[in-house]
Structure 1
Amino acid sequence: MAIFSVVNQKGGTGKTTTSLNLGSALTMLGKNVLLIDMDSQGNLGYSLGLEEGPTISDVFEGSAEIKDIIQQRENMDIVPSDMRLVDIELSLMDLDDRHNMLNSKIKHLSKKYDYILIDCPPSLSILAVNSLYASDKVIVPMLMEVLSLQGLDQIIQTIEKINASYNKKLKILGILPVMVDKRRKLSQEVKDHILENYDVKIFDSMIRNNVKASEAPSFGQSVVEYSPSSNSAKDYMDFANEIVKLN
């Protein structure tokens, strides 16, 4: 089993879109996948049309177990979240093992899934640290823009700290360029800058701009399911194949 956190502390970088579409694509390759939403906004559940019910907040509060709150869409298991995670985060601050809470809840799942994908909040908060503590590797969806480089520095620093203090196996699996317009010269310039100045992999796959990816959540589907012939769906299938080859 591989546990990946999908991380970028900047909003609007496609973390949720990447999590659900990579998950759906992996199931089409015959893999057993669990998606965990660790963002209090609950966008993952909304994007897949999940029913209202218990969430990861109930698991943290101790009133439910992971197995009790799982919903299924597109052959994936999904653990939804809700706004109560904001209060959960505050309560975690007082606990000695606050970094290990998510890990303790999911470690027994290792034999059931090929991949667990954790959709992280858009900040390097205690919830994000919980996700990183529980993970093997990190996927960083990233816009190929100059302002994204500052965020990349912060992500790398945070992962280095967690690697040194809590989770020795944690590393960045790679950067996934998202919302790519191949006509823009800047995209290639930013990519070249990263390759020249950072010791981090950029995936061969990239996710092109495509309106179908924006439409899909309105129908409670991944773009892989909603419009399999679209550029976005093809790109996510390519990415899933790349992930399987790497792991």
Structure 2
Amino acid sequence: MITQEKIERFFQTRIGLNISQIEKESGMPARTLHRAFQEKKTIPTKYMPALESVLRQYGYSDALFEKATIISVVNHKGGVGKTTTTINVGKALSLMGNRVLLIDMDSQGNLSQCYGIHQPSEQIINALLDDESLPIIEINDNLHLSPSDITMADRESEFSSAVGAERRLALKIQEIEKNYDYILIDCPPSLGICTISSLVASNQCLIPIQPEASAFHGVDNLFKRIKQVQTYSNPNLRIKGIVFTMVLNQNIHKALMEQIREKYSNFNVCESMIDNSKYLRESQVMQQDIFTYNPKSLPSEQYNNLAKELINSKS
């Protein structure tokens, strides 16, 4: 059964929808939905059946709200902007009204540290090995974090040899995913059990690539590993896209990006790209996302555009 909450959440995931057109097609007075969304007015019950019928033509389904979109941000090469992308895409999605959970699967704990969380007493590896619930820390109403630190590395071999290791994160996420619209997983710079279990738990993956010559090294191995996960463990996993990060306005970067587009033309390459910006580096030092540190900056705009592209992309 459609509800006003589901209607609002549907519009949050379909940013390009023309609200005025939907109102017209549903036979409701102009600005009825505007007032519902902006002024928290109740949509009159008499319009709900017609509105539901119209929204279903635009892709609405009750099933949209039964499971979260789970995205692994993955590249086994370090220093390409995985954590920065996870933090800032997650924050952008939350600012759009989505309920977001960030999961830190990297033993370096940089994602957790961005929000001032060091040596958390409860963390993911304990949930995976000790039959505990995923630890959830509230950053704000729409943004939550499941933290990690070096303990993940200390217990990784134990995790790797555990029965059903690659499925354990997926099972833990299933317990709480109904509470979220998006779950973003920050993967470590490796193709070990922590990355594999993240991919098994996800329905999408996003691949940040820095346009440097070294970006080509090992990328084929990453795609091969993703294919193996799709074949043997998670047939629902899709590559959402490749996103260029740490981009400089240089001919060499432009040439390398074009080479990557050509080589991986059968995959979606995001139109949005992220510049190599001092504001991102400064925000990391300050342990803040870019929207908190400098909401008017170019990378803030770029990550906001990337979040919108991920919402609207059909890949």
Instruction: Decide: shared fold, TM above 0.5.
Output: yes
How many residue pairs were aligned?
244
1:32-63 CA distances to partner (integer Å, 9 max, x unpaired)? 00000000111111111126331112212326
- Look up the SS of the partner of 1:204 in the other structure: coil
Structure 1 CA distance for aligned equivalents of residues 83 and 225 of structure 2: 20
- Aligned partner of 1:60 among 107, 111, 128: 128
- Aligned partner of 1:112 among 155, 179, 198: 179
1:179-202 CA distances to partner (integer Å, 9 max, x unpaired)? 1112x1122222222222222111
Is residue 206–residue 241 contact of structure 2 (8 Å, CA) maintained in 1? yes
- Aligned partner of 2:198 among 131, 140, 157: 131
Superposition TM-score, scaled by structure 2 size:
0.74
- Aligned partner of 2:93 among 5, 17, 26: 26
2:283 equivalent to 1:223:
no
Deviation at 1:131, TM superposition (A): 0.3
Q: Tell me the C-alpha RMSD between the 2 structures.
A: 1.5
Is residue 224–residue 236 contact of structure 1 (8 Å, CA) maintained in 2? no
Structure 1 CA distance for aligned equivalents of residues 71 and 227 of structure 2: 16
- Aligned partner of 2:230 among 140, 155, 163: 163
Structure 2 CA distance for aligned equivalents of residues 39 and 49 of structure 1: 16
Is residue 99–residue 126 contact of structure 1 (8 Å, CA) maintained in 2? yes
Match of 1:99 in 2: 166
* Amino acid in the other structure paired with 1:54: E
Structure 1 CA distance for aligned equivalents of residues 279 and 121 of structure 2: 28
* Amino acid in the other structure paired with 1:241: K
Structure 1 CA distance for aligned equivalents of residues 124 and 157 of structure 2: 15
- Look up the SS of the partner of 2:155 in the other structure: helix
- Look up the SS of the partner of 1:92 in the other structure: helix
Q: Which runs of 5+ in 2 are unaligned?
A: 1-67
Is residue 211–residue 256 contact of structure 2 (8 Å, CA) maintained in 1? yes
2:152 equivalent to 1:85:
yes
- Aligned partner of 1:208 among 275, 280, 297: 275
Fraction of identical pairs, as percent: 36
Match of 1:186 in 2: 252
List 4+ stretches of structure 1 deviating above 6 A. Answer: none
Structure 1 CA distance for aligned equivalents of residues 160 and 87 of structure 2: 29
Match of 1:11 in 2: 78
Which structure has the larger Rg? Answer: 2
Structure 2 CA distance for aligned equivalents of residues 93 and 58 of structure 1: 14
2:261 equivalent to 1:195:
yes
Match of 2:299 in 1: 232
Q: Which runs of 5+ in 1 are unaligned?
A: none
Is residue 34–residue 116 contact of structure 1 (8 Å, CA) maintained in 2? yes
Is residue 105–residue 194 contact of structure 2 (8 Å, CA) maintained in 1? yes
